[in-house]
Structure 1
Amino acid sequence: MNIDLYKMSGEELKQLRADIDKALETIELRRKAEALKAAEDAAKAYGFSLNDLKEAGPKGSKNPPKYANPADPRQTWTGRGRKPQWVNEALKAGKTLEDLSI
């Protein structure tokens, strides 16, 4: 593709920019669709669907969360392993682990 940008009008350049922005937005969607198709094909080769594999996966954490981020209760921590960034930030701000407990 060989486009001489200097020969294009302002309107043509604006339209080209709009077309490029639209194409860039769809790249990730196309890549996700391709990845999903590849995963479905791989599962099918073994006689499964993706739902079959999803149901066979881990059922969740064995340890329930003990702490929650007050700013975003969806962020939780079991108290095991490395502390999440939000825990470290809360501790630096003067909170205690007891303040964060569920």
Structure 2
Amino acid sequence: MDISNLSLAELKLLQQQIPLEIKKRESQEKEKVLNELKLIAESRGFSLDQLVKGGEKGKTKVGRTVQVKYRHPDNADLAWTGRGRKPQWVQEWLNGGRKIEELAV
């Protein structure tokens, strides 16, 4: 497509239309592929949901609750497991010359 002969106004209009057309075409293509995948799955005796959910098994990680190691003595709502970055209240405690052992549960 030769766009060198288009006016500035025509180029700007084209510039606005292109992203919309790309989104529309991507959506159509996704739907087409999804329908093809559904047909393949059904031809083998499965639903697409069964295959997708079945593929996730073993990959999901069961999170376990980590015990609180540190708690503020004056405000029990302020707690920290000791993992990750120190919360601001812990940092303020330490900056005040106090020891982290004083917060241990």
Shorter-chain TM-score tier? 0.3 to 0.5
TM-score normalised by length of structure 1: 0.46
TM-score normalised by length of structure 2: 0.46
Larger radius of gyration: 2
